Amino acid sequence: MKDVIYDVIIIGAGPGGMTAAIYTSRANLKTLILERGVPGGQLQNTAEIENFPSYSHISGPELAQNIFEHSLKFGAEYEQANVKSIAIEGDIKAVYTESGVYKSRSIIISTGTKYKKLNIPGEEEFSGRGVSWCAVCDGAFFKDKELVVVGGGDSAVEESVFLTRFAKKVTVLHRRDQFRAQPILIDRMLKNEKIEVMYNTIVNEIRGENKVSTVLLENVKTGETKEFQADGIFEYIGMDPVSEFVKTLKITDEEGWIITDNRMKTAIKGIFAVGDIRKNAVRQVVAATGDGCIAALEAQYYVENLQEKGNDLSYV
Ligand code: NAP
């Protein structure tokens, strides 16, 4: 248990959380960022960013590092910790982690998302031995290999193009006959000579000896199945929220997305949420940073009024 009481604890160092830290620390609020992994959130898994203002091209990890350094510039503290739960103790919120308890007047949640899994035979067994959810992290292991990418959204389409830097061939498997990704990304993918697309196709099993060697495919229109050679499979079938630690607070919908208003306020006073973890969020880096700014200003208002009025808050 730490004696210090923070003004703001930011849980999760995604772009939204780190932007909030810039604002709150620059407003002289005592700010702590808690992150269980590496700062950057999904930026760490994104090869290229070309729609963040002022960068027409930057790698995700590089942008993450830039925002991280910026977030600490005005005095915010940073600690690596895995948050397990939050308890409300009057005006103070206690954040329970595996390494201790931290106390704060307000909290900004920016824990983002984790990759969905296909939940098919072979997936768990070959995880890290050909099954991956991160082209930036694992793509280089597949030089001159044949890969499959599953999904039809921005991630699948964008990362399949990135994987052609290493792989001899990339086959994109989509369960429908239309991609949901942005047209500019689809266009790039379709023009890439190393990429082939199989529509109406799902993966039913991942097979191999010590590592992936084939995937069992099914055409959902014809019912036809076939074994398809692949040295690796990258799954980009969407995201699940990282919000188990707030389950008891009842601030999420049934799927675990945190419900906020357009000022980033949750149903609990003094607790805000930003970025991809929010229900119906626009899942873009720029949107997350905008959320971070709004939440920080709201947290500042909340903390300053809390100190003036104690429990007698009329703030809504
Ligand atoms: P997504 O948009 O939810 O797309 C998931 C894709 O996986 C869909 O095409 C979906 O098919 C398919 N899928 C879902 N479950 C499946 C299953 N069990 N088997 C096979 N296919 C399955 O996820 P995302 O691409 O990871 O993107 C997440 C969010 O981040 C989106 O809002 C996206 O716009 C944003 N993002 C933006 C950028 C960018 O701006 N450059 C880059 C990456 C992500 P259906 O289409 O049939 O539903």
Q: Ligand 1 centre and the CA of 153: distance in Å? A: 3
- 238 neighbors 224 (Cβ within 8 angstroms): no
Q: Which CATH architecture has domain 5-114+239-309?
A: 3-Layer(bba) Sandwich (3.50)
- 64 neighbors 47 (Cβ within 8 angstroms): no
pLDDT at position 292, please?
98
Dihedral angle over CA of 37, 43, 44, 49, nearest 10: -170
Q: Kindly report the protein residue whose alpha carbon is nearest to atom 14 of ligand 1.
A: 237
Helix boundaries (H) for the chain: 15-26, 60-71, 135-138, 154-163, 183-191, 285-309
pLDDT at position 309, please?
58
Instruction: Give the three-state DSSP class for 51.
Output: coil
pLDDT at position 2, please?
61
The reply to whether domains 5-114+239-309 and 117-235 share a CATH topology is: yes
pLDDT at position 178, please?
97
Q: Ligand 1 centre and the CA of 157: distance in Å? A: 9
Q: Is beta strand 5-11 parallel, antiparallel or unpaired with respect to 31-35?
A: parallel
C-alpha distances in Å from residue 193, one per residue of 9, 161, 165, 237: 48, 10, 12, 23
Q: Is beta strand 5-11 parallel, antiparallel or unpaired with respect to 100-109?
A: parallel
How far apart are the C-alpha atoms of 71 and 26, rounded to whole Å? Answer: 9
Q: Is 47 in the pocket of ligand 1 (CB under 6 A)?
A: no
pLDDT at position 314, please?
46
Q: Is 194 in the pocket of ligand 1 (CB under 6 A)?
A: no
Mean pLDDT, residues 168-178: 98
- 32 neighbors 104 (Cβ within 8 angstroms): yes
How far apart are the C-alpha atoms of 290 and 14, rounded to whole Å? Answer: 12
Q: Ligand 1 centre and the CA of 180: distance in Å? A: 7
Q: Is 298 in the pocket of ligand 1 (CB under 6 A)?
A: no
pLDDT at position 263, please?
97
Condensed to tens digits (0 to 9), the pLDDT of residues 121-141 reads 999 999 999 999 999 999 999
- 270 neighbors 107 (Cβ within 8 angstroms): yes
Q: Which CATH architecture has domain 117-235?
A: 3-Layer(bba) Sandwich (3.50)
- 12 neighbors 258 (Cβ within 8 angstroms): no
Q: Kindly report the protein residue whose alpha carbon is nearest to atom 39 of ligand 1.
A: 154
Mean pLDDT, residues 276-301: 97
pLDDT at position 308, please?
61
Q: Ligand 1 centre and the CA of 90: distance in Å? A: 40
How far apart are the C-alpha atoms of 161 and 47, rounded to whole Å? Answer: 10
**Hey, how many other C-beta atoms are within 10 angstroms of the C-beta on 9?**
28
pLDDT at position 119, please?
98
**Residues designated catalytic:** 134, 137-138
Q: Is 284 in the pocket of ligand 1 (CB under 6 A)?
A: yes
Q: Give the ligand 1 atom nearest the CA of 49.
A: 41
pLDDT at position 307, please?
65
User: Where are the domains positioned within the chain?
Assistant: 5-114+239-309, 117-235
Q: Ligand 1 centre and the CA of 67: distance in Å? A: 25
Mean pLDDT, residues 202-231: 98
Q: Is 236 in the pocket of ligand 1 (CB under 6 A)?
A: yes
Q: Kindly report the protein residue whose alpha carbon is nearest to atom 13 of ligand 1.
A: 237
| pLDDT(83) > 50 | yes
Q: Is 285 in the pocket of ligand 1 (CB under 6 A)?
A: no
Q: Is 175 in the pocket of ligand 1 (CB under 6 A)?
A: yes
> pTM to 2 decimals?
0.90
Q: Is 155 in the pocket of ligand 1 (CB under 6 A)?
A: yes
| pLDDT(52) > 80 | yes
Mean pLDDT, residues 265-289: 97
Q: Kindly report the protein residue whose alpha carbon is nearest to atom 29 of ligand 1.
A: 283
Q: Ligand 1 centre and the CA of 238: distance in Å? A: 4
| pLDDT(247) > 90 | yes
pLDDT confidence tier of residue 3, bands split at 50, 70 and 90: confident
47-50's contacts with Cβ under 8 Å and 24+ in sequence apart are 47/135, 47/136, 47/139, 47/158, 47/159, 47/162, 48/158, 48/162, 49/285
| pLDDT(56) > 60 | yes
| pLDDT(181) > 80 | yes
Q: Give the ligand 1 atom nearest the CA of 156.
A: 25
